Amino acid sequence: MLPNDYQPERYQELLNEKVATVLSDFKALDAPEPQIFPSPTHSFRMRAEFRVWHDGEDLNFVMFERERPREPIKISAFPFGSEAIQSLLEPLRALLQGNAILRTKLFQVEFLSTLSGECLVTLIYHRKLDEAWTQEATKVEQSLQIKVIGRSRGQKLVVSDDWVTETLQVDGHPLTYKQPEQAFIQPNATLNQVMLSWACAHAQNTDRDLLELYCGIGNFTIPLSKHFRRVLATEVSKVATRAAQDNLVLNKVGNVAFARLAAEEVTQALNGEREFRRLKSLEPPLNDYDLATVFVDPPRAGLDEGTTRLCQKFNQILYISCNPLTLIDNLRFMRETHRIEALAFFDQFPYTHHLECGISLIRRGSHESTN
């Protein structure tokens, strides 16, 4: 996402074009008319990363066009970024340029921010970092009121914390999330709030249980937990799983259990194909869950065939996708057993071809109704 992609005057036109490229494929699968949720036209990205370009004593944050990978584009303004990121760009650049210890062999800068303005900056180097680096980074933290992490190969130095705390509003209720530097975070916080509300609106209020795959830090887990008796949430990342446990405590949620399993492993466990030591301490035990709904938010590759078949066993499938093409492929299987009850498009990534989708599917012949 480069500066010349910023075209707020064409925002609605670009969104319409993006939706049009995939809508006919969903219609061919008997999907209903979609709800379309636009993004703010600026200041929507909570995350950003830039390469660092050294030219003598000058230091600049830059990006590159894919077609011209050797021609840096200097970033003096970044209207896509959150207000916190935008306000930090020049002060941080100036501090780094004027400090030999922080500048030497610095090659990338990453930002993680929140709606409240908290910001964590990761400085990535082609050299080993030492105590002198920590002392100078501490001064930057204090001067700019941010959090700073230093990284190089095999090394991570945390000056204060390696996370930010985000508060999202979902159906009028504040939810608090610890967001670690290395975990996946939905980049557009405003649209994330909309997606969370949409998922809750389409979750069947039931006295049965929810299985969630790819739960990450508990982004959807926390609000969805209010709509089910119990939730079994799974995630393979250790960093994300630790944050998810912290987020249960922060939000006083008591009906969720986490299991550190990949989606393929969950399929094996539920099909009785394999036992996992990581499930030995699960409370309540796996066999005590009455799982009627499955929620998935997979990576761009979508669901593998085994996980898709597993989902077909549930009364309801709630599916958030960052790739309409792999979602459509999965839906061709899911429609053997389920009908598409609701479709939504969330413009998480304005000015790009990427489109986030939400789908609710109900088992054919099921008499359970949604909210």
Could you read off the pLDDT of 280-301 as tens digits, one per residue? 888 888 989 999 999 999 999 9
Domain residue limits, the chain: 3-41+165-363, 47-163
Mean pLDDT computed over 94-101: 97
Single-letter code of the amino acid located at 278: R
Residue bearing the bigger pLDDT, 68 or 34: 34
- Predicted TM-score of the model (pTM): 0.94
Specify the amino acid at residue 5: D
Structure-block tokens of residue 217:
């830090």
The two tokens of residue 59 are 């230091």
The stretch 146-172 carries a mean pLDDT of 97
Quick check: 368 pLDDT over 80?
no
Q: What is the mean pLDDT of residues 93-116?
A: 97
Selected from 3.40.50.150, 3.10.450.50, 3.20.20.140, 3.40.50.2000, the CATH number assigned to the domain covering 3-41+165-363 reads: 3.40.50.150
User: In whole angstroms, what is the distance from residue 144 CA to residue 131 CA?
Assistant: 20
Residue 289 near residue 340 (C-beta atoms within 8 A): no
The reply to whether 356 belongs to the active site is: yes
- The single residue of 119, 200, 311, 322 carrying the catalytic annotation is 322
Where residue 4 falls among pLDDT bands split at 50, 70, 90? confident
Residues of the chain with pLDDT > 70, as a percent, come to: 98
200 is catalytic: no
Instruction: Provide CB contacts within 8 A for 268, sequence distance 6+.
Output: 274
Does residue 36 have a pLDDT over 50?
yes
**Active-site residue (options: 200, 311, 356, 357):** 356
> Backbone dihedral region of 43: left (phi > 0), alpha (psi from -120 to 50 degrees) or beta?
left
Is 67's pLDDT higher than 80?
A: yes
CATH number of 47-163: 2.40.50.1070
Q: Which two tokens stand for residue 138?
A: 């501490």
Hey, how many other C-beta atoms are within 10 angstroms of the C-beta on 326? 16
Report how far residue 327's alpha carbon sits from residue 177's, in angstroms, rounded to the nearest whole number: 27
- Cα–Cα distance measured from residue 369 to residue 371, given in angstroms and rounded to the nearest whole number: 7
The pLDDT of residue 52 is 98
Which phi and psi angles does 141 have, rounded to 5°? -55, -50
In the predicted model, is pLDDT for residue 223 greater than 50?
Answer: yes
The Cα–Cα gap between 155 and 126 comes to: 11
pLDDT of res. 371: 35
pLDDT for 30 beyond 50: yes
Distance, CA of 202 to CA of 198 (rounded, Å) = 6
Q: Which residues pair with 151 in a beta bridge?
A: 124, 156
Instruction: Quote the mean pLDDT of the chain.
Output: 94
pLDDT attached to residue 130: 97
Higher pLDDT pick, 270 / 40:
40
Residue count of the chain: 371
Confidence at residue 367, expressed as pLDDT on a 0 to 100 scale: 54
